[in-house]
């Protein structure tokens, strides 16, 4: 039998489970106190850069609730959105020259997202954007860094383009232009501010960035799109960046709005825990502005005790001081024998999985993950019987 223990509350700022919210709303929404309190539960927020215009006191408000929160300014790297009416973007628009627009071989402007017009990163737009980010966005303490969106490992996918500065390989020209953007931005903002992209895993960017986001994880456009490729690229980039890693695994509902797809949540979060990444979950590529919380977010597993390990059956595991994370990136069910007894989270959402039971073996469905709590003998100088479990929130 296992002793029945009360829940024990501890400060969880040393918890490996870290969350992010890709929240592309500003204005009235960020002025709402209840929204601010909910957003303060996250460790990283990606917000529209124009929030600094519409919500100048937002950092002070949210840092009253969470002094350590990281605020990143969302900046599209190659699109101009026709709906922008704020003073920040008006100033940026005044710097755009006709030669900056991305055109096809017939001289026609190109769009890569509905309602937007594309810019040519191989033109001098590259330097203009880097300087604008440094001088107009990251010039004070509002933001902790920049989140460059639309970072792609090529441009040929949009069709027959006419780049301002092409080479024999236009896709490599595009990649090189991003390296230039990151390098120029870094030279202007210094070492303290954060630069992440959404998203490229190319290691030629690594000397200048803190990391990237993997959107719609497992990101379908990341090489072959498989979960295992996403995981390997995530871990490789994290190990190679020259600055403190800031990696985000962002899963979503695939634009369905079904936030009860808990398997997708577990897959993304357990994958993030293989590294030091932050995890988020939202609607999808068509909408980023949800505040959804999941049972796993409040589980306390402590800090990593080991490096991630791939088992013979393809399951990945990682041990933590107060828990264990498992992820099955394969397309078949896998069974794992554990090195002792663990407790499942006692959840209120997917209660068939997070049912609070004690296990020494688990079976993971394909493309799923699991967070387990480990037995502990001492918490805050309180002694417990061997085999006793504590859930910490």
Per-residue pLDDT of 53-62, as tens digits, reads 999 999 999 9
pLDDT band at 341 (very low <50, low <70, confident <90, very high): very high
Average pLDDT, the chain: 93
Q: Tell me what the mean pLDDT of segment 17-43 comes to.
A: 98
With 60 as the cut, is the pLDDT of residue 6 above it?
no
pLDDT of residue 376: 56
With 90 as the cut, is the pLDDT of residue 393 above it?
no
d(CA 39, CA 44): 9
pLDDT of residue 389: 42
DSSP assignment of 95-123:
T--GGGB-EETTS-B--SSTTEEEB-TTS
pLDDT band at 388 (very low <50, low <70, confident <90, very high): very low
Paired strand residues for 31: none
Q: Tell me what the mean pLDDT of segment 34-46 comes to.
A: 99
Q: Tell me what the mean pLDDT of segment 334-342 comes to.
A: 97
Q: Tell me what the mean pLDDT of segment 289-311 comes to.
A: 98
CA nearest neighbour of 364 among 344, 389, 339 = 344
The number of beta carbons lying within 10 Å of the beta carbon of residue 176 is 17
Q: Tell me what the mean pLDDT of segment 307-323 comes to.
A: 98
With 60 as the cut, is the pLDDT of residue 114 above it?
yes
User: Chain-centre distance of CA 322, in angstroms?
Assistant: 24
Separation of first and last alpha carbons in the chain: 23
Alpha helices in the chain (DSSP H): 28-31, 33-39, 51-54, 58-65, 87-93, 125-132, 170-189, 227-240, 262-272
CA nearest neighbour of 175 among 194, 193, 157 = 157
Name which residue leads in pLDDT, 268 or 113.
Answer: 268
Q: What percent of the chain has pLDDT over 70?
A: 92
Asked if residue 338 lies in contact with residue 360, where contact means CB atoms within 8 angstroms, the answer is yes
Q: Tell me what the mean pLDDT of segment 140-165 comes to.
A: 96
Beta-strand pair 145-149/194-198? parallel
With 80 as the cut, is the pLDDT of residue 325 above it?
yes
Q: Tell me what the mean pLDDT of segment 64-81 comes to.
A: 98
Q: What percent of the chain has pLDDT over 90?
A: 89
Q: Tell me what the mean pLDDT of segment 243-268 comes to.
A: 98
pLDDT of residue 13: 67
pLDDT band at 9 (very low <50, low <70, confident <90, very high): very low
pLDDT of residue 24: 98
pLDDT of residue 113: 86
Instruction: Look up the pTM and report it.
Output: 0.92
DSSP assignment of 128-164:
HHHHHIIIIISSSSS-SEEEEE---S-SGGG-SEE-S
d(CA 219, CA 353): 25
d(CA 268, CA 275): 12
d(CA 289, CA 19): 15
Which one-letter DSSP state was computed for residue 304? B
Q: What domains appear along the chain, each with residue ranges and CATH number?
A: 20-298 (3.20.20.70)
pLDDT of residue 92: 98
Three-class secondary structure of residue 333 per DSSP: coil
Asked if residue 231 lies in contact with residue 271, where contact means CB atoms within 8 angstroms, the answer is yes
Asked if residue 340 lies in contact with residue 377, where contact means CB atoms within 8 angstroms, the answer is no
With 70 as the cut, is the pLDDT of residue 166 above it?
yes
The number of beta carbons lying within 10 Å of the beta carbon of residue 158 is 14
Q: Tell me what the mean pLDDT of segment 244-258 comes to.
A: 99
Lowest mean pLDDT among 82-91, 108-117, 220-229: 108-117
pLDDT of residue 300: 98
Among all chains, which residue has been given the structure tokens 């489970």? 17
């Amino acid at each position: 039998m296992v002793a029945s223990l009360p829940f024990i509350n501890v400060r969880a700022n040393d918890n490996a489970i870290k969350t992010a919210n890709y929240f592309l709303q500003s204005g009235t929404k960020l002025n709402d106190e209840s929204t601010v309190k909910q957003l303060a539960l996250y460790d990283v927020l990606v917000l529209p850069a124009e929030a600094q215009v519409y919500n100048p006191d937002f950092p002070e408000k949210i840092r009253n609730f969470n002094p350590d929160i990281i605020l990143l300014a969302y900046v599209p790297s190659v699109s101009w959105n026709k709906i922008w009416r704020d003073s920040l973007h008006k100033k940026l628009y005044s710097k755009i020259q006709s030669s900056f627009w991305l055109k096809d071989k017939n001289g026609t402007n190109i769009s890569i997202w509905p309602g937007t017009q594309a810019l040519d990163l191989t033109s001098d737009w590259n330097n203009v954007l880097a300087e604008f980010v440094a001088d107009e966005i990251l010039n004070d303490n509002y933001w902790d860094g920049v989140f460059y969106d639309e970072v792609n490992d090529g441009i040929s996918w949009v069709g027959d383009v006419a780049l301002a500065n092409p080479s024999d390989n236009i896709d490599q020209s595009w990649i090189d232009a991003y390296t230039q953007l990151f390098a120029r931005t870094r030279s202007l903002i210094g070492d303290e501010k954060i630069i992440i992209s959404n998203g490229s895993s190319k290691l030629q960017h690594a000397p200048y960035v803190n990391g990237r986001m993997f959107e719609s994880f497992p990101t379908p456009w990341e090489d072959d799109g498989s979960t295992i490729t996403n995981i390997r690229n995530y871990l490789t980039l994290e190990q190679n960046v020259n600055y403190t890693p800031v990696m985000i695994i962002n899963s979503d509902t695939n634009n369905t709005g079904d936030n009860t797809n808990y398997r997708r949540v577990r897959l993304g979060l357990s994958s993030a825990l293989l590294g030091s990444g932050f995890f988020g979950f939202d609607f999808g590529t068509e909408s980023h502005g949800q505040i959804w919380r999941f049972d796993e977010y409040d589980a306390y597993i402590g800090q990593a005790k080991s490096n991630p390990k791939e088992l013979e059956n393809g399951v990945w595991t990682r041990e933590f001081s107060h828990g264990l994370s498992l992820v099955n990136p394969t397309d078949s069910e896998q069974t794992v024998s554990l090195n002792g007894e663990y407790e499942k989270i006692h959840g209120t959402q997917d209660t068939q999985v997070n049912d609070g039971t004690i296990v020494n073996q688990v079976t993971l469905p394909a493309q799923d993950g699991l967070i387990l709590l480990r037995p502990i003998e001492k918490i805050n100088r309180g002694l417990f019987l061997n085999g006793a479990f504590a859930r910490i929130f």
